[in-house]
Amino acid sequence: MKNIYSNIFSFNKKILKKSVANLKKGNVIGLPTETVYGLGGNAYSKVAIQKIYSLKNRPKKNPLIVHYLNYRDADKDVIFNRDFYKLYKKFCPGPITFVLKKKSRSKIQSLVTAKLNTVAIRFPSHKTTRSVLKNLNFPLAMPSANLSSGISPVNALDVAEEFKKKIKIIINSGNSKIGIESTVVSLIGKPKILRPGIIEAKTIKKFLKISNNKISSKIISPGMLKKHYSPGIPVLLNKKKAAKNCALVTFGGNYKDKINNFNLSKKSDLKEAASNLYKTFRKIKKQGFKKIYVVKIPNLGAGIAINDRLKRAAN
Ligand code: AMP
Ligand code: MG
């Protein structure tokens, strides 16, 4: 990746020290995770959290996910339960976020949780972000590092293009392996999937009962906002071909290589397709196409998470 941005850095001891110093001062930085790149700041610092909301232009009613190294660090902020321990043991660190009750003595800023008495917590597996967390005595509130309602960044250059020089440090660790946001599961009362992800409901169901209730219209999770994950140009779903001057996002081996065809996975691998989704949308937008047509994506496995994002992108 050609680096024309002076705020993108490879990870080493020097940049670790600089990142930690910045975070301790209440600054926010761009960090890689296995899902997408995040905009991280001290979850206990009002100044840092205000910076996150204002940089992203994020509505204040959309709470942020708080990131920890391990459950011991999270213990001071949230109330664990048996469902949490089951899933933690199985999937953490990894691409899954848990919504739990906040402890009354927690130092998490009320802005982080949009004044709710619940917190969404995650334990990222990415080595770089784990080394940063290891050197902090506070957790990181970290939404995806993009302007609100847009698509998540999957590499350092994407982050730089979103915020330009407004953040001092973006740690470069190549492309995020998973490429879409974490599965969000509420563990308050009967467990519920709030946002599908690479860890599927089907897999989680092996360990606990999940409520199939259609989630109420009340926004309990902002990732559920109808318009979200938008590439900034119209997205049309379940198409077989694209109109003139428009891009066609395809899946599987049945499509010819054409300049306006963008294949998410020639071998019909839905995980690969998920990891290529946002990258492909950004590429299409950069090439100046006016609309994105998308073929039907199978609604199983990682396809469930892909279709969730596509539906909102098309809204
Ligand atoms: P992102 O902006 O990609 O980091 O997404 C954050 C996700 O975490 C959104 O889908 C939110 O719904 C979810 N979230 C954060 N805090 C809470 C909370 N207290 N209750 C429910 N969902 C939450
Ligand atoms: Mg986001």
User: Beta 118-122 vs 140-141: how paired, if at all?
Assistant: unpaired
Give residue limits of the domains in the chain.
8-204, 235-314
CATH 3.40.50.11030 fits 235-314, yes or no: yes
What letter would DSSP give residue 43?
Answer: T
Q: Is 196 in the pocket of ligand 1 (CB under 6 A)?
A: no
The dotted CATH code for 8-204 is: 3.90.870.10
- Asked if pLDDT for residue 272 goes beyond 70, the answer is yes
- Asked if pLDDT for residue 164 goes beyond 70, the answer is yes
Torsion, Cα of 141, 54, 159, 38 (10° steps): 10
Q: Among 149, 162, 182, which Cα is nearest to 313's?
A: 149
Q: What residues have a C-beta under 5 A from ligand 2, the ion? A: 144
User: Three-state SS string across 126-180, please?
Assistant: CHHHHHHHHCCCCCEECCECCCCCECCCCCHHHHHHHHHHHCCCEEECCCCCCCC
**Distance from residue 36's CA to the centre of ligand 1 (Å):** 14
Mean pLDDT score of the chain: 94
For residue 226, what pLDDT band results from cuts at 50, 70 and 90?
low
pTM of the model: 0.95
pLDDT value, residue 315: 87
Mutate to test the pocket of ligand 1, among 77, 221, 309, 312 (most ligand atoms within 8 A of CB): 221
**Distance from residue 62's CA to the centre of ligand 1 (Å):** 7
pLDDT value, residue 2: 53
**Distance from residue 157's CA to the centre of ligand 1 (Å):** 24
In the chain, the percentage of residues whose pLDDT exceeds 90 is 92
pLDDT value, residue 216: 45
pLDDT value, residue 228: 81
**Distance from residue 276's CA to the centre of ligand 2 (Å):** 17
Asked if residue 231 lies in contact with residue 249, where contact means CB atoms within 8 angstroms, the answer is: no
Torsion, Cα of 279, 282, 283, 288 (10° steps): 170
Lowest mean pLDDT among 3-17, 79-93, 99-113: 3-17
Q: Is 119 in the pocket of ligand 1 (CB under 6 A)?
A: yes
Q: Whose CA is nearest to atom 2 of ligand 1?
A: 143
For residue 43, what pLDDT band results from cuts at 50, 70 and 90?
very high
Q: Which atom of ligand 1 is nearest to the CA of 186?
A: 21
Q: Is 147 in the pocket of ligand 1 (CB under 6 A)?
A: no
pLDDT value, residue 59: 94
